[in-house]
Amino acid sequence: MFRKTALAALVSISLSAHAQDAVQTDSDKYKTIFENECVRVLDYQDSPGESTHQHSHPAFVLYALSPFKRSITLPDGKVLQRQFKQGDVMWSNAQTHIGTNTGDTPTHVILVETKSAIGECAKK
C-alpha cells in the first residue's frame, strides 16, 4: 500500500514539474490581462537573449504585437525556430516548451489560452 501511495505521489510531482503554468514560472514576462471560465488572455514581453523556464500552455492563439524571432525547445529536445511579423496570428495545440528570444528585437505578444469549458461558453 505504501509503495502505491509513494508511486502516485512521485507521478503527481513529476507531472506537475513538467506542466508548470507560464505565469508562475515567468511572472516577469507573462501578465494575465483577462480571465474567465472560457479563456485566459496573457500579455507576454521579453528582450533579445532572454529565455523562459519550461512551462505549458493549453491550446492557444498568439497575436504578435511586434516582430520577433525565437526558438522553442520541446521536452524531447526538438528545437523549433519561429519568426513573426507584427500582426501575425498563430494557432497552437497544447504545448510544453522553453522559449528563447533569438532575434534583435523584443518580443511582445498576446496569447489567448483556451479552457476546457470553451465549448460550453460558445453556447451562452
Q: What is the CATH number of the domain that holds 43?
A: 2.60.120.10
pLDDT in tens, the chain (124 residues): 545 444 444 333 444 445 699 999 999 999 999 999 999 999 999 999 999 999 999 999 999 999 999 999 999 999 999 999 999 999 999 999 999 999 999 999 999 999 987 778 877 7
Residue 5 lies in a domain: no
Residue 123, Cβ neighbours under 10 Å: how many? Answer: 5
Find how far residue 54's CA is from the centre of its chain.
Answer: 9
Residue 92 lies in a domain: yes
pLDDT for 84 equals 98
Domain span at residue 109 reads 21-122
40's grid cell: 485566459
- pTM comes to 0.82
Type of residue at 69:
K
Residue 114 lies in a domain: yes
Rounded to whole angstroms, the Cα distance separating 42 from 49 reads 21
Residue 7, Cβ neighbours under 10 Å: how many? Answer: 10
Q: How many domains does the chain have?
A: 1
